[in-house]
Structures are given as C-alpha cells and as structure tokens.
C-alpha cells in the first residue's frame, strides 16, 4: 500500500472516530468564501467571514453597497458554496458593516478564525490555555507523521478546538 493511501485512511478514521466532519466542513466554508469570485473579484478582497453557527455565516464588510449586493445574491452564494461542499452546510448569510480591522479582533472573540488572519497566533495561545497537556500530547502524537506543514497546522487547530469543546 502506498503512503498516500495510508495517510488518507488514517485521516478518514481520525475524522470519523472524533466526529470532526462538521468542523472540517466549517473550515471549508471559510476557505471557499475567500476563493469565491463575486463581481469579478474574490470575496476576500471586500469581506471577512467571522463565524459560522447553526448554518449562519456571519460576514463583515466595510462597504454598505457590498452588503446590499451580497444580500441580494444570498441564495446564489449559499447554493454555490453548498454545491462545492457537497452538503447543505450554509443556510443563511448575516452581512454586517464593520471596519475590517475591527473584524479581526471580533473574530478572535468568536473563535472561528479564518486561517489567514493576523490574529491567528493569539487564537492558538487561547486554545493552548484551555486544552489539557494530555490532550496536546495526544494531538502531537497523532500529527507526528503528517509532513505537509500547512495541513499539519490546520489539523492541529481543528483538533485543539475539538479537544477544547469535548474535554
């Protein structure tokens, strides 16, 4: 068996046994939002996804006209993102007017960060304080064989968040 198949099997088993699929889909929503082309540009250039709760994605924008346009096209955006996910994860968008610099600090409070935010390290520090040393050790052991640094970082954040939620 090749290593890729073994890693895929290991990750699938880990996701299944720890019931992580909802969290992974949540992170995919943030990634898809950043890549989604809207009015000829990625949404990430004018918006910031802040949190996803009960299918409602909260998004900040500085521009009232963008809020209006996004509200108008909400059904299409939700359908497109859900189609990419293969499951109906999003049910609604809540678009609010905020300065995007303020949004980053609000994002830390919501603890549903976009992986590319500048506040990422402080979010990780908060997680470290709430996850037990035993849980951190187990996570480190689980991820020891993952070579891709970006994947390892994303999985680490996912697992620590999951550990914090389920002590």
Residue 74's pLDDT is 94
DSSP state of 115: T
Residue with tokens 């070579």: 147
Q: Establish if 79 belongs to a structural domain.
A: yes
Domain carrying residue 70:
3-119
Residue 18's pLDDT is 87
Residue 110's pLDDT is 46
Residue 101's pLDDT is 65
Q: Establish if 108 belongs to a structural domain.
A: yes
Residue 93's pLDDT is 95
Low-confidence ranges of the chain (pLDDT < 50): 102-129
Residue 19's pLDDT is 86
The pTM score is: 0.56
Residue 57's pLDDT is 94
DSSP-based three-state secondary structure for 65: helix
Query: How many domains does the structure of the chain reveal?
Result: 1
Q: Establish if 136 belongs to a structural domain.
A: no
What is the tens place of the pLDDT at every residue in 28-74?
A: 999 999 888 877 777 878 899 999 999 999 999 988 888 888 999 99
Residue 56's pLDDT is 94
Q: Establish if 145 belongs to a structural domain.
A: no
Q: Establish if 147 belongs to a structural domain.
A: no
**Judging by beta carbons within 10 Å of its beta carbon (0-12, 13-18, 19+), is residue 80 exposed, middle or buried?**
middle
CA 71 to chain centre: 22
Residue 92's pLDDT is 96
Q: Establish if 163 belongs to a structural domain.
A: no
């Amino acid at each position: 068996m090749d290593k890729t198949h073994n890693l895929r099997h290991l990750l699938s088993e880990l996701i299944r046994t720890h019931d992580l699929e909802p969290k992974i889909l949540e992170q995919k929503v943030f990634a898809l939002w950043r890549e989604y082309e809207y009015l000829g540009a990625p949404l990430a250039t004018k918006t910031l996804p802040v949190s996803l709760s009960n299918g409602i994605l909260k998004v900040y924008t500085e521009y009232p006209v963008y809020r209006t346009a996004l509200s108008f096209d909400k059904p299409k955006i939700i359908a497109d993102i859900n189609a990419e996910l293969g499951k109906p994860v999003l049910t609604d968008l809540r678009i609010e007017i905020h300065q995007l610099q303020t949004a980053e600090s609000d994002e830390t409070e919501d603890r549903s960060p976009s992986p590319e935010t500048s506040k990422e390290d402080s979010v990780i520090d908060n997680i470290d304080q709430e996850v037990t040393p035993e849980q951190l050790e187990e996570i480190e052991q689980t991820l020891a064989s993952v070579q891709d640094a970006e994947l390892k970082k994303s999985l680490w954040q996912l697992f620590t968040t999951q550990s914090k939620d389920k002590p």
